[in-house]
Amino acid sequence: MSDEAHPFAKFVAILGRGKTKQRHLTLEESREAMGMILRDEARPEQIGAFLMLLRLKEEAPEEIAGFALGARDTMQIPADLPQVDIDWSTYAGKRIQLPWYTLSVLALVNAGYSVLMHGTEGHTPGRVYTREVLEALGFPAARSLDEAAQQIRDRRFAYVPLEVLSPMLRHLIDLRPIFGLRSPVHSFSRMLNPFDAPTMMQGIFHRGFMDIHAGAAQLLDQPHMGVFRGEGGEIERRPNKPTQVWMTNGRDEPVVENWPALTEKPHQPPNTEMNIADLAQVWRGEIDDAYATASVVGTIAVTLRTMGKATSIEQAEAMAGELWAARDRDFVTG
């Protein structure tokens, strides 16, 4: 074996030199490192050490932005992209409440906005994931990026599984049971925005990550980005809790707004059945569920505000209510 250092070793060394000498990777270092990982130019031992050292240190905005760029560099994005208004990431899965955000997305699509969703499933047992819900509602996942582009053209919506975007990223997320911890892949995958939508929506579980994601969006010069602590870590407003939303517009400093609770009941009991058929029934108006409706409309409102379609929280919520009320009840099946 050669004594010469492996090309990827420098990145592990930057992170592993100890408390006094370690530092964050720069954006360009992060971009190069993730590109090497996804092109299979790093050894498995290096990848494991790299990801866990990042987890221990906690990611910086420069690293999240650089990793997203490095991942995009390795993707086979179609040359002729359709217009996409909103990029919607969905990587957490739901275990306490149904994924009401899926109805928020479909209501936005039904109202004329185009949405690309991307995510993954199965990494944590006992959760309901977006893919199975969308398929039950009549929106099967795209099997390629070309097919996703065509779905956007045909119906303004597509869901792309992470393994279609990057099989290696899916493999890295699936290592969670091996590590016993989430890795930075869970964070930067939310920022891939493969079809370059001007508005990027993000939900997180840990509130301490909002400034990191906002900072990464600034570095990426993302035109519009909204991030908040959503139910279960998904992009879903919790109507029974106040919600702090961080919004960025390009490289401008974040705008932080505190959205009030939408219901007076402070606690919502867990949904013990998690019957995804309820989603279609709520869409068609066959079930009157105040929590579900508030969650759907509240999530739409945050999205419209992030897009710049509303100039205040009050206007956004009024617009969202009108958008939901005007939905085509036959738009979804299931």
pLDDT of residue 186: 87
pLDDT at 208 over 80: no
Question: Is it the case that residue 247 has pLDDT exceeding 70?
Answer: yes
Model confidence at 19, pLDDT cuts 50, 70, 90, reads confident
> What is residue 248's predicted lDDT score, i.e. its pLDDT?
98
Give the start-to-end residue ranges of the domains of the chain: 9-73, 86-325
* Average pLDDT, integer, range 175-192: 88
Q: Count CB atoms within 10 A of the CB of residue 2.
A: 5
CATH fold group of domain 86-325: Pyrimidine Nucleoside Phosphorylase; Chain A, domain 2 (3.40.1030)
**pLDDT at residue 334, as a whole number:** 74
| 24, amino acid identity | H
| Res. 18: pLDDT tops 80 | no
> Region 235-251: what's the mean pLDDT?
97
The reported pLDDT for the residue numbered 2 is: 61
Q: What is the mean pLDDT of the chain?
A: 94
- The reported pLDDT for the residue numbered 1 is 55
What pLDDT digit, counting tens, does each position of 279-326 carry? 999 999 999 999 999 999 999 999 999 999 999 999 999 999 999 999
- Residues with Cβ within 8 Å of 308's Cβ and at least 6 positions away in sequence, in order, are 224, 249
State how far the Cα of 212 lies from the Cα of 119, in Å rounded to an integer.
20
Mean pLDDT over 1-11 rounds to 84
Question: Does the structure show a pLDDT above 80 at 207?
Answer: no
- Quote the pLDDT of residue 126: 77
Closest CA to 289 of 301, 273, 305, 302: 273
Q: Which segments of the chain does DSSP mark as H helices, in order?
A: 9-15, 27-38, 44-57, 61-73, 101-110, 130-136, 145-155, 162-165, 167-173, 176-179, 185-188, 210-219, 277-284, 290-307, 313-325
pLDDT band at 21 (very low <50, low <70, confident <90, very high): confident
pLDDT, tens digit, 9 for 90 and up, residues 71-124: 999 999 999 999 999 999 999 999 999 999 999 999 999 999 999 999 998 777
Contact 104, 300 (CB under 8 A): yes
Q: Is the dihedral of CA 127, 129, 132, 133 positive or negative?
A: positive
The reported pLDDT for the residue numbered 20 is 74
Mean pLDDT of 273-279: 95
- The string of pLDDT tens digits covering residues 24-83 is 999 999 999 999 999 999 999 999 999 999 988 889 999 999 999 999 999 999 999 999
pLDDT value of residue 5: 87
Q: Given a cut of 80, is residue 183 above it in pLDDT?
A: yes
Does CATH number 1.20.970.10 belong to domain 9-73? yes
pLDDT at 176: 86
The pLDDT tens digits of the residues spanning 221-234 come to 999 999 999 999 99
Tens of pLDDT, residues 189-198: 999 999 999 9
| Low-confidence winner among 2-16, 82-96, 136-150 (lowest mean pLDDT) | 2-16
